[in-house]
Amino acid sequence: MDDYIKYSSTRGGDQSLSYEEVLLAGLARDGGLFMPEKWPSFSHSDLKLMKGLSYSNLASEILKPFILPFLSEDDLSNICQDTYSSFGKDVAPLKELKENTYILELFHGPTLAFKDYAMQFLSKAFNIALEKKGKRAVILGATSGDTGSAALEAFKGKENVDIFILFPNKRVSEVQQKQMTWINEEGAHALSVKTDFDGCQAIVKDCFEDLNFKDRTSLSAINSINWVRLLPQIVYYFYSALRVGSPEKEVVFSVPTGNFGNILAGWIAKKMGLPISRLICGSNQNDILTRFFANGTMKRKNVSPSYSPSMDIQVSSNFERLLFEINGRNTNSVKKQMYDFKVNGYFEINQDQLKKINRSFSAFMISDNNTLDIIKNTYIDHEYMLDPHSAIGYGAVQKAVEQKIISNDTPIISLACAHPAKFPQVIKKSIGILPKFPIHLNHIMNQKENFKIIQPDLKDLQKYITRKMRK
């Protein structure tokens, strides 16, 4: 029992916690994020044996080292089967746009976004852990669009969970908002906050850092600050790479990136032995990550609303996990940098550290006008419709090829993180037609909305949660 993977905070507080403890805690008590104390790894021969596995069976194999013995192999297998059985025959389809360049479609879950791949798993994992301990939990999350709808869909109707989702007022698409606010079930709360996503995320973190409130409400997180929310996202990197030639071939991935969780899952897959030659980070005009990978300085600016609202972020929370590794797991360095960033909006790494991470990462900014052009040209050239976030990922691929950072000789997989129907007005602005709505989305769009508009005030939010949570 003692040989399982343990987890510790990036800031040095909580040490050697179990899978169940980090699942239910969400954020460490010192404000840091949990990381495994060691990385499992798969050999070339291990990867070859994985080639023929179904998505569900592969998920079970990838997640097993992180989770056993707290779930049995049978329980983990059953959760994976149950989670992905509703995602269609091909859980994560690969579409070849041109030779050696693929789109990985991650929008075949219930809310048409990549967050479903993790959130559906997470809700089942939560349920098992809470039932085992005879506990209830209050889940609090912030969303820039897709996390909230995926979380509310996954956790609605759960007797042992109350879920509160904060989204920035008037800064998500109409479809994204409706996917959250049509839900009208006890224990499920959508809150529109008069701030941007970073403001929502800051309030969530402040709630977790108020340890008295956290303990009193049994507070937990479903954003990718929760380590177990991140885990299932690793799976589709393995799944898609194995289908285009790994482990015999190295693969390039391009990821539209806001909060850094999705691309970090790719970096973790690389740490675990998947032969990824480069991870391309695509940013919109809120390009804090692109600027960081260029000069090693993380400097916050004001958030600028864009056609890709899920990426309208200037505080990429998950970056702290990579920073932990950049600093050689020196928690004092991480703590100081995170303090500087919170107080001054600024921190930097040295040039040797920057050179090291740039062996794995490249980053590109795609403007709103570029995004419209990419959607249009991809539709004309390939009869394929990208949503604005996915267009940024594909646009970053094009820039990387132009600058000879990557070669078309290497398989390139660009992640499509949302269905174009979630952003119909942007698609219409680009190509003059509206995307076809899936039937269940048409049903949602005709439902009454249920949500509350609130100010970005910590104490008011805490009072609201205390009043609304079921005892």
Active site residues: 115
Q: How far apart are CA 299 and CA 293, in angstroms?
A: 12
User: Is the bond preceding 65 in cis, omega lying within 30 degrees of 0?
Assistant: no
Alpha-carbon dihedral angle through residues 263, 207, 334, 288, given to the nearest 10 degrees: 50
Tokens of 283: 């940013």
Tokens of 252: 């390039």
Give the 3-state secondary structure of residue 412.
strand
Instruction: Name the H helices within 210-350.
Output: 211-217, 227-243, 261-271, 288-295, 319-326, 331-344
Give the 3-state secondary structure of residue 47.
helix
Alpha-carbon dihedral angle through residues 158, 68, 218, 36, given to the nearest 10 degrees: -130
Nearest to 220 by CA among 306, 179, 162, 174: 162
CA distance to 43, 202, 396, per residue, from 267 (Å): 17, 25, 17
- Run of H or E including 452: strand 452-454
Give residue 81's identity as a one-letter amino acid code.
Q
Nearest to 309 by CA among 445, 436, 110, 167: 167
Beta-strand relationship, 94-98 and 101-105: antiparallel
Inter-residue contact 207 to 141 (CB < 8 Å): no
